[in-house]
Structure 1
Amino acid sequence: MQIRNAQEADIPVIAQLWHLGWHSAHASIVDVDLVRLRAPAEFMTRTAAHLEQTYVAVLGGEIAGFFMIEGNEVYQFYVDPAQHGSGFARRMMKEAEARVPASLAWLACSVGNDRAAAFYAKNGWRNVGEEELQVETSEGPRPVRIWRFEKTL
């Protein structure tokens, strides 16, 4: 696995991974209005807006995952489903953690996203509670209930 800064040419692949991963993990646990807004075009726009904070994980010459670091937050973290169960996500998380510029990192996990919550806990992240987070959309911020996970690095 190689980690590199995302480039403009990567936007379509990142946006597709993000769109598919987001819908797989969130469509059944968040408000239907948010699901409606999470169309492919929105992921293209969001990926472009966050490109400078985005890293891609390349495996066999192909992008197999990505993460975004914003301040001390692992803002987004998605892995190609073909890599699930392979240990790839664990290695990618170590790379993401190494790029957080603070000793205390955090990430948001939508309440009900049990698979992701279990992954974070298995990798040393601690669920410190539930809160409401305003997420960005093309129609302005929307509230989502999240579990806040933290980890001392």
Structure 2
Amino acid sequence: MQVRSADAAEIDHLARLWHEGWHETHAPLLPPHLTRLRTLESFRERLQAALSDTRVAGPPGAPVGFSVLKGEELYQLFVSPEARGSGVAAALIADAEARLAECGVETAWLACAIGNERAARFYEKSGWRLAGTVVNQAETSTGPFPLEVWRYEKRLARPT
């Protein structure tokens, strides 16, 4: 599975993938106020701002998954329902870990919605360990939204 940099022409497609995936997996677990703020446009704006840190897997123009890095954080990882279980998420997370290690990150982290058991199992299978429950400041159009999440961490091997 080849992972590549996202193209600006793919933002609308990726925003739909993220919007649909987020509402399927996160909306049932999170406060209704946050769910109302998670509009298609909000995902489009966040992807536009993070384009240089976004990697995708899948055909040009129609990727089936993406990851976004932010500092030492694997900030986002989403895969379309059709591609789940196909190795796309594993390829994206391996790519993200390699990129973080190349930047000198020794311990990477990610936030997982409390109760998102499928994602938690995947992270653990990928070598990430639950470090605890923390309050994360979720980005919204109205400013930071304090949200209790599971924090996962992984020690990364230095590139040789």
TM-score above 0.5, yes or no: yes
Quote the sequence identity (%): 47
Equivalent residues of 1:4, 1:55 under 8 A apart: yes
Q: Distance in 2 between matches of 1:81 and 1:59?
A: 16
Tell me by how many angstroms 1:61 deviates: 7.1
**Alignment-derived partner of residue 149 in structure 1:** 152
**Alignment-derived partner of residue 46 in structure 1:** 46
**Alignment-derived partner of residue 85 in structure 1:** 85
Tell me by how many angstroms 1:91 deviates: 2.2
Aligned-residue Cα RMSD (Å) equals 1.4
Q: Secondary structure at the match of 2:127?
A: coil
Segments of structure 2 that go 5 or more residues without pairing to the other structure are none
Segments of structure 1 that go 5 or more residues without pairing to the other structure are none
Q: Which runs of 4+ in 1 moved over 6 A?
A: none
**Alignment-derived partner of residue 111 in structure 1:** 114
Question: 2:154 corresponds to which letter in structure 1?
Answer: K
Residues 33 and 61 of structure 1: CA distance in aligned 2, closer, same or farther (over 3 Å):
closer
Tell me by how many angstroms 1:62 deviates: 3.4
**Alignment-derived partner of residue 123 in structure 1:** 126
Residues 60 and 136 of structure 1: CA distance in aligned 2, closer, same or farther (over 3 Å):
closer
Residues 145 and 59 of structure 1: CA distance in aligned 2, closer, same or farther (over 3 Å):
same
Task: Report how many residues are paired.
Answer: 153
Equivalent residues of 1:2, 1:59 under 8 A apart: no
**Alignment-derived partner of residue 3 in structure 2:** 3
Residues 87 and 136 of structure 1: CA distance in aligned 2, closer, same or farther (over 3 Å):
same
Residue from 102, 115, 139 that aligns with 2:142: 139
1:75-108 deviation line (CA, Å, top 9, x unaligned): 0000111111222211221111111121211100
Q: What is the TM-score normalised by the length of structure 1?
A: 0.94
Q: Distance in 2 between matches of 1:88 and 1:8?
A: 21
Q: What is the TM-score normalised by the length of structure 2?
A: 0.90
Q: Distance in 1 between matches of 2:59 and 2:11?
A: 17
